[in-house]
Amino acid sequence: MNIGIVTTWMQRGATFVTLAYAKALVMKHNVFIFARGGEEYDRSVAPELENLVFYSKPNILDFSGTPVNRREFLEWLNENSIDCVLFNEQQSWEPILWCKDVGVATACYVDYYTDETVHLFSTYDLVLCNTKRHYSVFKGLENSFYIPWGTNVPDKSVLERELRRELIFSLGHNAYRKGFDFFLQALKAEKSCINNFKIKVYTQRALTMAPEYSALLEDLDNQIEIIVGDFSVNEILSSRGVYMYLSRLDGIGLSLPEAVAHGMIPIISNHPPMNEFVDKDFAGLVGIDELVKRADSYYFPECVISIEGLIKELRRITSLSNEELEQKSIKSYNFALEHLNWKKNFSGLNNIFETHRLSNNADIRKEVLAFEKQRKANLSWKQKLSYIKRNLNKRFDILLNI
- What is the mean pLDDT of the segment spanning 371-389? 88
CATH fold of 156-341 reads: Rossmann fold (3.40.50)
Q: Which residue blocks in 36-109 are alpha helix, DSSP H?
A: 70-79, 94-101
Looking at residue 108, its pLDDT comes to 94
Backbone conformation region of residue 339, classed left if phi is above 0, alpha if psi is from -120 to 50, else beta? alpha
- CATH number assigned to the domain with residue range 2-147+346-400, chosen from the 4 options 3.40.640.10, 3.40.50.11720, 3.65.10.10, 3.30.390.50: 3.40.50.11720
- Find how far residue 18's CA is from the centre of its chain: 10
Largest CA distance in the chain: 63
pLDDT at 54 over 90: yes
**pLDDT tens column, 182-208:** 999 999 899 899 988 999 999 988 887
Q: Which range (25-34, 195-204, 209-218, 344-353) has the least confidence?
A: 209-218
Q: For residue 299, which of 324, 275, 273, 320 has the smallest C-alpha distance?
A: 273
Q: What is the pLDDT of residue 45?
A: 82
Q: Is the pLDDT at 376 greater than 90, yes or no? A: no
Backbone φ and ψ of 232, nearest 5°: -80, 165
Contact between 277 and 333 (Cβ < 8 Å): no
- Cα 131 to Cα 109, 147, 247: the distances in Å are 11, 7, 16
Angle at 19 between CA 14 and CA 21, to 5 degrees: 95
The pLDDT score that the predictor gives to residue 234 is 86
Model pLDDT for residues 229-287, shown as the tens digit of each residue: 988 888 999 999 999 999 999 988 889 999 999 999 999 999 999 999 999 999 999 99
Report whether pLDDT(395) > 70.
yes
Render pLDDT for 316-327 as a digit per residue (tens, 0 to 9).
999 999 999 999
Confidence check: pLDDT of 348 > 80: yes
- Inter-helix orientation angle 70-79/94-101, to 10°: 40
Q: Which residues contact 52 (CB under 8 A, 6 or more apart)?
A: 22, 31, 32, 33
Give the pLDDT of residue 180: 93
Contacts of 226 by beta carbon, 8 Å cutoff, 6+ apart: 201, 203, 207, 217
Q: Characterize 278-288 residue by residue with b for buried, 16 or more Cβ atoms within 10 angstroms of its Cβ, and e for exposed.
A: bbeebbbbbee
The pLDDT score that the predictor gives to residue 361 is 67
Please indicate whether residue 384 or residue 264 has the higher confidence score (pLDDT): 264
Mean of pLDDT over the chain: 90
**Residue among 83, 247, 236, 256 at smallest CA distance from 161:** 236
Q: What is the pLDDT at residue 263?
A: 97
Mean pLDDT of 364-382: 88
Q: Which of 29-38, 62-71, 87-96, 316-325 has the highest mean pLDDT?
A: 316-325
Alpha helices in 232-341 (DSSP H): 233-236, 255-261, 307-318, 322-339
CA dist 89 → 14, 21, 115 (Å)? 7, 13, 16
3-state secondary structure of 344: helix
- The single-letter code of the amino acid at 397 is D
Tell me, yes or no, if the two domains 2-147+346-400 and 156-341 fold the same way: yes
Give the residue extent of every domain in the chain: 2-147+346-400, 156-341
Compute the distance between CA of residue 1 and CA of residue 328 in angstroms, rounded to an integer.
Answer: 44
